[in-house]
Homo-oligomer: A and B are copies of this chain.
Amino acid sequence: MKLNEWLNNEIPNISKSLESINHSHFFIDKTIGFAGKEKIYKILHQFRSSLFPGVYEKYPIDETKVNIIIGNNLRTAALELRDLIKKALVNNTDIQDKSQDECEECKIKATDIVIKLINKFPEIRQNLQTDIEAAYNGDPAAVTTEEILLSYPSIEAITIHRIAHELYEMHVPIIPRIMSEYSHQRTGIDIHPGAEIGHHFFIDHGTGVVIGETCTIGNHVKIYQGVTLGAKSFSLDEEGKPIKGLKRHPNIGDNVVIYAGATILGGDTTIGHDSVIGGNIWLTESVPPFSKVYNIQPSPTIKNGN
């Protein structure tokens, strides 16, 4: 068999080549994420099951079990997350020369972070309740809150964001980004875990929404599909590399509505509260409260075919 022979003879060389490329660019077995990515997805699943018991369980559960099932999910997820955060911290700190097992400090910090996160869960859940209400009041097509919980991508995205954001705030490396990208993949909504988002938040339809790392968003904000809250440009350092960590994305006030396809850019761009930003608007400057921003649509040329 020609293919068999080639596979036996040549694959070892190609494997060696691929192996060496990988080794020269990063260390294969020193990162959290490689095998940990699926663990993070599972933790998210358990956290969401705790927040909305019944929604993510494989089997119907009855009322008498809710308390125990929440507890089990939280406990299991907590143990796993502690390990992953510890690993991420070890990789990321100056103490890289210390071996994983010895970084007692990382373990303590990781434990601390997990406890703080879970202590926030009742508050997160309260906020999510306001998000459900916002969806109900913001979409005439929504008939019941049950429908929202079961079929609105907005709820999935904001649930994951509110968890990821807490970890981002406590300077957990990489894990929050893996969480937000998981949400992005499933909903088409890309919220960087750094973004600060108030209560009663709702994104209708959602596909194509991008919300940047240094955004702040007030309460009662409603956003439609295809909206970008992005950076105007970014500064390079002397070597031409981007300077990380600067404020680059806009601030959105309370009670703002942003219609589909609008683009708002820049770290010093502030949308005043109670404003409405029309569809397809391109905005790189601040507007005061109570503004209504619409394009004077260039009247489209309409050619009658007859």
Is the pair B298, A296 in contact by a Cβ cutoff of 8 Å?
A: yes
Separation of A88 and B70 alpha carbons in the complex (Å): 26
Is the pair A28, B185 in contact by a Cβ cutoff of 8 Å?
A: no
What 1/0 mask marks residues of chain A from 1 to 23 whose CB sits below 8 Å from any chain B CB? 11110111111101111110110
Taking A3-B114, A151-B181, A208-B225 as given, write out 4 further A-B residue pairs in contact, using a Cβ cutoff of 8 Å, ordered by the A residue number.
A31-B146, A226-B228, A226-B261, A260-B263
What is the interface size of chain A, counting residues whose CB is below 8 A from a CB of the partner? Answer: 151
Is the pair A74, B14 in contact by a Cβ cutoff of 8 Å?
A: yes
Separation of A117 and B194 alpha carbons in the complex (Å): 41
Is the pair A243, B67 in contact by a Cβ cutoff of 8 Å?
A: no
Residues of B within 8 A of A34 (CB): 54-55, 57, 60, 150
Q: Please name 14 pairs of A and B residues whose Cβ atoms are closer than 8 Å in the assembled complex, sorted by A.
A: A3-B115, A15-B71, A16-B67, A21-B125, A29-B62, A37-B55, A147-B174, A280-B280, A281-B300, A282-B297, A282-B300, A290-B305, A290-B306, A291-B304
Residues of B within 8 A of A103 (CB): none
